[in-house]
Structure 1
Amino acid sequence: MLLLPNEVDDSPGQVQRGPRDALAALAADGRVDAVEVVSFLQVRAADPDGWADHLVDVAEGFGPDVIVWQHVEEGPLPTSLPARLAAVSSRPLLVYQDGDAYGVLRKPIPPAMATVVAAADLVLAAGGGAIARAYRRAGAARVRLMPPVVDARFAGGWEPSDARPDEVVMIASRVATRVPAIPALPGGLSRDRLVRGLHRAFGAGFALYGRGWDSPSARGPIAYTEQHRVLRDGWVSVGWNHFPRAAFAASDRLPIAMSAGVVHVTNRIVGAPRWLAECPGVLMAGTPGEAVELVRIALSLPRDELIRMGEQAREVALEHLDPVRVWAGALDVVDRLRGHLRS
């Protein structure tokens, strides 16, 4: 397998440890023959004129049966490059994988990404519904879902504490259009209502982190690696996904929140698997008002029960959203497709 991750440099915050470590583990177990990783953004930055030829040469020399290309944003990308990669002598399957959600009208797929999507044999998307439709409109032949994973940096253990300065913690960004009152993405209005409802209900006990908020509860942006620390400052964490009507549309906020070991309240996730829908530490709401009431109910429980529910959420995330397990499932989908195309 040839993996082309979206990495600007080799700093710890940029290196995609999840897929790298998961595929290395699968290779060590013999479930993947070999893995070669090439950070295409670094290759492009180092050789703006010859980077496409370099990627094709790497693919020709390595001879992968699968090429997985991750999260292509804007930037120069020769329209012929995806087809050239798929045409090397090993005739690999070209798979595009992206953990971000895109829509048809709001947050549309950018041209460079569409070039790869249209040439791919398979797209592994962050959700169905409008997200899958956006990929199909961009020319995707097949779209399947791939859930987010628990980042290894959030997999370590912790000792739950009774000393928590906040009651409720929410990490979310507010992405506005040119009209500030109108959020840019589906689910944004519900997220706004939820923030207002949480502030009214819990006042100073509600801590809101993220960009774009003017709420009295706002505490500003938080570094990616600091998310567990602030989530564990509260007894309940809250989230509201963009594209909430899309099947299993959940960003990495979900595994981050669950693996924090704190009870998590979120919007109802369409098509949620049984292990998630029945997890005692994850409470799903149909409306922002219902989410506020679920938080109120959770905060009415004894602390030892809240701790136990949070630990159950953490255990479920570490089992079902483990990177090795998720990537093994994705590669099973790829193997089935290869068998189908060859038959």
Structure 2
Amino acid sequence: MSSNDFVCKPIRLLYLPNEISTTSLQVGPRAAFNEMTEDQTLSAYQLFSFLFEANKVGETTSWEKRLIDLANDFQPSVIFWQHIGKLPITVDLIKQLKGLPNKPLLIYHEGDIHGKFRSRITPSMKILARFSDITFLVGLGENAELFKKAGARKIIYSPHSVDTTRFGHDWNRTTQGRRGVVMIANHIISKPIIQHIPPLRFPGILEREKFALNLYKHFGDRFKLYGRGWEKYPFSIGLLPYDDQEIALRQHLVSVNWDHFPDIPFYFSDRLPISMISGVVHTTNYHPGYELMFKNGEEMVYYQTIKDAIDIIDWMLCQPDKYLIDMGYAGEQYARKNLTSNIVYRRMIEIIKNEIVKKCYSES
């Protein structure tokens, strides 16, 4: 059997998730790939948690050798590598993986946003981008340009998603006692000198702080905030376990946010799909491209300035509860149709399939 015959058969997927430990699993992608194996979208599926393997104590062989051995035994047609970060890898490792008898496609999925001066692309990320057949990114614009300069040949947008294992449970959206505004966000504190140098400052960090302060000034104790770094502020509730976000959101009428990286087109963190699938109205600052993705004022609300945000949120809280309930429900339906992990990762697999078909025709 030739490598071309092998790769043109249904996908054998080797997934390399970014997981530090067994308590920080990529729940959504794991569930999505399991579902696709069950319905035979994937003919076979194997997983290698590279960070966990790299940090194992007492192993007599390197994590790289264990990965190569697994790949040789499994013979994937697609290798899906997620968020390599700072872990050192070599060009030789990637060439060994791509040089397997069936010549698998290498797919790189990057879930963070990067810049020229802060959160810079690491050497390992550059290697993956240069050798990948497809690089999936959660934001375009400057972010995509950096990956192009790193050597990425084909960049495709794929948004953050929400898993329906931990979120999107049934609930009574007319429950009495829901009130006020909630924000779930961390406050990243930069060194004072960096805060006054825009290229080095984390984009959106100062605006997020101003936004929270203005919300408290306007809404008082009707505004509550969960997250790290806000301990000195009177509106801070403290840390919130990741899995408890839906519970906290559903105690309020409106979810608000000021997202980082406001100039990156189409970007949003996983806070947005988690908030939307919770069924609570979600509001956030605008990113270029949102007008193509969302019906503003129907499925969610976005705003361009802090002043506009306060006015809009104030107006929303003056509306009948049914208005907010209906918009929250519309947002939940949007998330279920577009932003669950099963849907987002299935779309990526369909894109990969199309790339395989092109490869088959070009090599025929």
Same fold (TM over 0.5): yes
Residue type matched to 2:72 in 1? E
Residue type matched to 1:81 in 2? L
| 8 Å CA contact 1:168, 1:237 repeated in 2 | yes
- Per the TM alignment, residue 150 of structure 1 is displaced from its structure 2 partner at its CA by 1.6
3-state SS in 1 of match to 2:152: coil
When structure 1 is superposed on structure 2, of 56-65 and 181-190 the one drifting more is 181-190
User: Aligned pair 1:169/2:196, yes or no?
Assistant: no
Report the structure number with the largest CA radius of gyration. 2
| 8 Å CA contact 1:279, 1:313 repeated in 2 | no
| 8 Å CA contact 1:176, 1:184 repeated in 2 | no
List gaps (5 residues or longer) in structure 1.
Answer: none
Alpha-carbon separation, structure 2, partners of 1:290 and 1:125: 30
User: Aligned pair 1:323/2:323, yes or no?
Assistant: no
Counterpart selection for 1:51 from 63, 70, 90: 63
TM-score, scaled to structure 1: 0.92
TM-score, scaled to structure 2: 0.87
3-state SS in 1 of match to 2:237: coil
| 8 Å CA contact 1:191, 1:288 repeated in 2 | no
3-state SS in 2 of match to 1:277: coil
3-state SS in 2 of match to 1:157: coil
Alpha-carbon separation, structure 2, partners of 1:247 and 1:335: 26
User: Aligned pair 1:277/2:295, yes or no?
Assistant: yes
| 8 Å CA contact 2:20, 2:52 repeated in 1 | yes
Alpha-carbon separation, structure 1, partners of 2:238 and 2:225: 8
Deviations 1:246-272 (A, max 9, x none): 121011001111011111111123223
Corresponding residue for residue 22 of structure 1: 32
User: Aligned pair 1:34/2:44, yes or no?
Assistant: yes
When structure 1 is superposed on structure 2, of 325-334 and 245-254 the one drifting more is 325-334
- Per the TM alignment, residue 198 of structure 1 is displaced from its structure 2 partner at its CA by 0.8
Deviations 1:199-222 (A, max 9, x none): 111111111111222433222221
Deviations 1:88-124 (A, max 9, x none): 1111111111222222222112233333222222111
Deviations 1:270-321 (A, max 9, x none): 2237552356140010112211111111101101221121122112111211
3-state SS in 1 of match to 2:43: coil
List gaps (5 residues or longer) in structure 2.
Answer: 1-12
When structure 1 is superposed on structure 2, of 33-42 and 135-144 the one drifting more is 135-144
Alpha-carbon separation, structure 1, partners of 2:209 and 2:249: 20
| 8 Å CA contact 1:263, 1:282 repeated in 2 | yes
User: Aligned pair 1:239/2:257, yes or no?
Assistant: yes
Structure 1 residues 265 and 181: alpha-carbon distance in aligned structure 2, compared to 1, 3 A threshold: farther
- Per the TM alignment, residue 336 of structure 1 is displaced from its structure 2 partner at its CA by 2.5
Aligned residues: 340
3-state SS in 2 of match to 1:175: coil
- Per the TM alignment, residue 48 of structure 1 is displaced from its structure 2 partner at its CA by 7.5
Structure 1 segments, 4+ long, off by >6 Å, are: none
Structure 1 residues 233 and 180: alpha-carbon distance in aligned structure 2, compared to 1, 3 A threshold: farther
Corresponding residue for residue 94 of structure 1: 106
Counterpart selection for 1:108 from 96, 100, 120: 120
Alpha-carbon separation, structure 2, partners of 1:39 and 1:87: 21
- Per the TM alignment, residue 329 of structure 1 is displaced from its structure 2 partner at its CA by 1.2
Alpha-carbon separation, structure 1, partners of 2:204 and 2:180: 24
3-state SS in 2 of match to 1:289: helix
Corresponding residue for residue 162 of structure 2: 150
3-state SS in 1 of match to 2:344: helix
